Copies of this chain bind each other. A is one copy, B any other.
Amino acid sequence: MLDRDYENQVCSIARSLEVVGERWSLLIVRNVGLGLNRFEPLRENLGITRSVLTTRLNTLIEYGILEKRQYSERPPRFEYHLTAKGRDLAPVLLQLMWWGDRYYPEENGAPSIATHGGCGGLLDHHLICEKCGEKVEPSDIKVKPGPGRKTEDLPKIPA
């Protein structure tokens, strides 16, 4: 599973990066998590070739981060969904997002905000709901458009 560069690295960061340490992979996980589940919209959003996207999707399926679900029989068509392992990458993505919000801010504010699915409160950077105080788990995080969002640029987030 680990390529030769990592053979001598007993480190969970090195192992994780072997799986998702390539920017398209994490952006695909982001997009699928936001509800962009089909090939062509994913490809258009990322602006990458069909071949690169196919390779990355297959790798993410092989690693158990995404799963394929058939949504049409004729013609056969598939959607991509996050597995529990994929959803558990949410804290990584949120910490990356907050770091970017802090050091590469948008003029109009954060493009996305993280909220608690349960009560709708905002999450602080410890993934704790500012409204109800709950320690929020990855499956209960809901990302919503923030003030800096330009809707044409990003996947439409289901309301």
Contacts and interface: CB of A to CB of B under 8 A. Distances in A.
Contacts of A97: 11-13, 16
A65 to B, nearest CB: 9
A120 interface: no
Contacts of A22: 21-23
A100 interface: yes
Given A16-B99, A99-B88, A9 B112 contact: no
A95 B1 CA distance: 20
| A interface bracket (residues with beta carbon within 8 Å of B) | 35 or more
Contacts of A91: 95, 98-99, 125
A140 interface: no
B21 A23 contact: yes
How many copies, total?
2
B17 A26 contact: yes
Interface stretch (A35-43, A54-62, A68-76, A101-109): A101-109
Interface string A80-124: 000001001101110111111111101000111000000000001
Q: Considering residues A1, A100, A102, which has the most beta carbons from chain B within 10 angstroms of its beta carbon? A: A100
Interface string A1-26: 10001001111111111111111001
A142 interface: no
Contacts of A23: 14, 17-18, 21-22
9 contacts: A1-B104, A13-B96, A14-B23, A16-B99, A16-B103, A85-B103, A91-B98, A91-B99, A128-B135
